[in-house]
Amino acid sequence: MRIVIVEDSAVLAEGLNLLLSASGMTVVATTGDAPAFLAAVAEHEPDVAIVDVRLPPSFRDEGVQAALEARRIVPGLPVLLFSQYVEQVYARELLSDGKGGVGYLLKDRVARVDDFIDALRRVAAGGTAMDPEAVAQLLVRRSDPLDRLTARERDVLQLMAEGLDNAEIAARLFVTERAVHKHIGNIFGKLDLAPTDSGHRRVRAVLAYLDR
C-alpha cells in the first residue's frame, strides 16, 4: 500500500511514517501543507492519503479542501482525515460524492495501533471508518432527533458509523445478522432514506441525520 501524508506536525508525521513502514506499508511522500500534498498526489498517485483537517495557513479546513482536490486529481482516492477535535463538518463533502473510501479519526487513535491500521486498510479498500468517540460525541450533541430510534437502533447506528459491517455489529451486540439487518432497515426507514447496506451510505445516513 502506497501512502501520501499531509500533516503540519513534523513529530506526528514522522511517527506515522515509522508506524506505517513497520506495518509493511510504503509512505511515498510526507508533506506539511496543501500545495505540497497535491503535488505529491499528482506525482505518486497513491493508494490512500492521510490528511490533517487543519493545515496552514489558516488552520481551518485546508485539509478537507485539499482532500477534495486530491480526489479530482486521482478519482476516488481513498482519504483518511485526521483531527485533534470532533468537528461536525469533517467528512461530509468527501462523502457526498457517494464513492466511499473515506475515514475520520481523532489523532489520539494513532496510539491504538491495531485500530488505526484496521481503519486505514478499510478506507483504502473503499470502505469507511469513523472514530467511535467522534460518533458518540456527535450523537450526544444532537440527541433530540434520535428519539425516533430505539436504544438498540441507536447502538446499531453508532456501530454503522464506525464502519462495522453487519457481521461485526452482530458480534459486538451479541445478536444475529438477521436482527442487525432488520434494525438497519428500521433506521433507514425512520430517517426517510432508501435501505442499503453499502458501507459509505451507512455513514452518510448518520451524517445526514445529525444535520437535521
Indicate whether 6 and 81 sit together in one domain.
Answer: yes
Indicate whether 119 and 193 sit together in one domain.
Answer: no
| Mean pLDDT, residues 114-131 | 88
Indicate whether 126 and 196 sit together in one domain.
Answer: no
pLDDT of residue 96: 65
Q: Which domain holds residue 139?
A: 135-210
- Non-local (6+) Cβ contacts of 190 within 8 A are 148, 149, 153
Indicate whether 142 and 69 sit together in one domain.
Answer: no
pTM exceeding 0.75: no
Q: What is the pLDDT of residues 18-31, one digit of tens each?
A: 999 999 999 999 99
Q: Of the candidates 84, 106, 130, which is a domain's last residue?
A: 130
Indicate whether 59 and 112 sit together in one domain.
Answer: yes
Indicate whether 120 and 146 sit together in one domain.
Answer: no
Indicate whether 148 and 116 sit together in one domain.
Answer: no
Q: What CATH number corresponds to the domain at position 194?
A: 3.40.50.2300
Indicate whether 92 and 121 sit together in one domain.
Answer: yes
Q: What is the rounded CA–CA span in Å between residue 126 and residue 100? A: 5
What does the block give as the cell for 4?
A: 501520501
Answer for the pair 112, 105: CB distance below 8 angstroms, yes or no: no
Indicate whether 139 and 126 sit together in one domain.
Answer: no
Indicate whether 64 and 94 sit together in one domain.
Answer: yes
Instruction: Give the number of domains in the chain.
Output: 2
Answer for the pair 152, 106: CB distance below 8 angstroms, yes or no: no
- Collapsing DSSP to helix, strand or coil, 91 comes out as coil
At residue 102, φ and ψ (nearest 5 deg) are -135, 135
> At residue 138, does pLDDT exceed 60?
no
Q: How many C-beta neighbours within 10 Å does residue 106 have?
A: 16
Q: Look at 31 and 194; give whichever has higher pLDDT.
A: 31
Q: What is the rounded CA–CA span in Å between residue 196 and residue 45? A: 31
Indicate whether 140 and 126 sit together in one domain.
Answer: no
Q: Of the candidates 130, 145, 164, which is a domain's last residue?
A: 130
